């Protein structure tokens, strides 16, 4: 199964992901790249073959082991991107960070975004994809063995109902807990935007899909996008894809802006003072 995942990652990287990144990021071949949740490192393997500097982080030791076996010269760090000590463990910054289908599994998203911000070089890029929390299959229900695996929005059902369905239909043990966990750790596009604002990321390109690019590879389906309309992107969209850059805080600009505000305040204060004097 892990071999299948690796081959899919390689194929997806060659056919979609790397061409997309090259179209949208200048001098892509000269960037230093970090992939968060690299799994078997199929994407990094393709980068390495093209002579691009790259490294990966993977929480699952078994998958990280496969990544190293496939690419002995590739640096794979076993760790948690939301961990408090991960910055010291990595010890450097990158031009581009890839977070593909990972953020929805992480509980501590605030620390994760803070760490991503610290790991990026000034004017660095962040590519991130995820299924929105309220989208049809954000519960990852496909791991089930009954018809529930094909039932959209089931992760939004009450926990008590999910437990009853699991028992009645003889579904996989722990299936209800699995759905509930993915609902709790999931992230809506609205909340995602709040994190971007908080940590100074700005969007270069945003795309919302019904049929994501990976579906073309897996199922032969055409890539279908939807417009950036609130109810569509939160409830109908199967995948959100964003290419971001880290907005730099220009100290000179901040000082100039503060002086401008102060001068405006003093100007209005002076006008008010003159008006009051004229009425005495």
Q: What is the mean pLDDT of residues 232-253?
A: 83
Q: Quickly count: other Cβ atoms within 10 Å of residue 70's Cβ.
A: 17
Q: Quickly count: other Cβ atoms within 10 Å of residue 256's Cβ.
A: 11
Q: What is the mean pLDDT of residues 115-141?
A: 97
Residue 253 in 3-state DSSP? helix
- Sorted by sequence, the CB contacts under 8 Å of residue 15 that are 6+ apart come out as 217
More confident residue, 102 or 246: 102
- Sorted by sequence, the CB contacts under 8 Å of residue 264 that are 6+ apart come out as none
* pLDDT value at 199 more than 70: yes
In angstroms, what is the C-alpha Rg of the chain?
Answer: 23
Residue 152 resides in a domain: no
Quick one: tokens of 216? Answer: 């073309």
Domain co-membership, 127 together with 260:
no
pLDDT bucket at 1, cuts 50 / 70 / 90: confident
- Tell me the C-alpha distance between 220 and 8, whole Å: 13
More confident residue, 170 or 268: 170
Q: Quickly count: other Cβ atoms within 10 Å of residue 275's Cβ.
A: 9
Residue 227 resides in a domain: yes
Domain co-membership, 38 together with 68:
yes
Question: Which contacts of 143-151 are long-range, i.e. CB under 8 A and separated by 24 or more positions?
Answer: 143/172, 143/175, 143/178, 144/171, 144/172, 144/175, 145/171, 145/172, 146/170, 146/171, 148/175
* pLDDT tens column, 39-56: 999 999 999 999 999 999
Residue 228 resides in a domain: yes
pLDDT bucket at 84, cuts 50 / 70 / 90: confident
Domain co-membership, 197 together with 109:
yes
Q: What is the dihedral of CA 66, 71, 72, 76, to 10 degrees?
A: -70
Give the count of domains, the chain.
2
CATH number for the domain spanning 128: value is 3.40.50.150
Q: What is the DSSP letter of 4?
A: H
Domain co-membership, 221 together with 268:
no
> What are residue 207's DSSP bridge partners?
241
Averaged pLDDT score across all residues of the chain: 92
Buried b (16+ CB within 10 A) or exposed e, 221-248: eeeeeeeeeeeebbeebbbbbbbbbbee
- Tell me the C-alpha distance between 95 and 30, whole Å: 9
- Tell me the C-alpha distance between 220 and 11, whole Å: 13
What residue has token string 């935007």? 193
Residue 199 resides in a domain: yes
pLDDT bucket at 279, cuts 50 / 70 / 90: low
Pairing type for strands 201-211 and 224-225 reads: antiparallel
Residue 11 in 3-state DSSP? helix
Adjacency order of strands within the sheet including 94-100: 75-78, 53-58, 32-36, 94-100, 120-130, 239-246, 201-211, 224-225
* Residue numbers of the domain that contains 15: 2-138+186-248
Residue 171 resides in a domain: no
pTM: 0.86
* pLDDT value at 274 more than 80: no
- Tell me the C-alpha distance between 230 and 62, whole Å: 39
């Amino acid at each position: 199964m892990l071999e299948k995942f690796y081959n899919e990652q390689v194929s997806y990287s060659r056919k979609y992901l790397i061409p997309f990144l090259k179209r949208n990021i200048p001098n892509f071949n000269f960037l230093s790249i970090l992939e968060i949740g690299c799994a078997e490192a199929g994407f990094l393997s393709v980068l390495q073959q093209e002579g691009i500097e790259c490294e990966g982080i993977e929480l699952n030791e078994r998958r990280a082991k496969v990544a190293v076996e496939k690419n002995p010269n590739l640096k794979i760090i076993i760790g948690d991107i939301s961990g408090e000590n991960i910055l010291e463990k990595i010890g450097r910054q990158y031009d581009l960070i890839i977070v593909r289908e990972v953020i929805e599994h992480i509980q501590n998203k605030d620390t994760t975004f803070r760490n991503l911000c610290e790991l990026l070089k000034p004017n660095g890029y962040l590519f991130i994809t995820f299924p929105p929390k309220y989208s049809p299959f954000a519960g990852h229900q496909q791991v089930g063995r009954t018809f529930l695996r094909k039932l959209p929005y089931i992760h939004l059902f009450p926990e008590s109902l999910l437990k009853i369905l699991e028992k009645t239909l003889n579904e996989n043990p722990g299936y209800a807990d699995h759905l509930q966990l993915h609902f709790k750790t999931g992230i809506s596009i609205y909340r995602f935007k709040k994190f971007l604002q908080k940590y100074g990321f700005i969007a270069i390109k945003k795309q919302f899909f019904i049929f994501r690019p990976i579906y073309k590879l897996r199922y032969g389906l055409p890539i279908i996008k939807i417009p950036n309309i609130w109810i569509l992107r939160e409830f109908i969209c199967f995948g959100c894809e964003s290419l971001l850059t880290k907005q730099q805080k220009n100290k000179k600009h901040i000082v100039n802006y503060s002086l401008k505000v102060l001068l405006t305040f003093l100007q209005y204060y002076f006008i008010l003072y003159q008006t009051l004097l004229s009425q005495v």
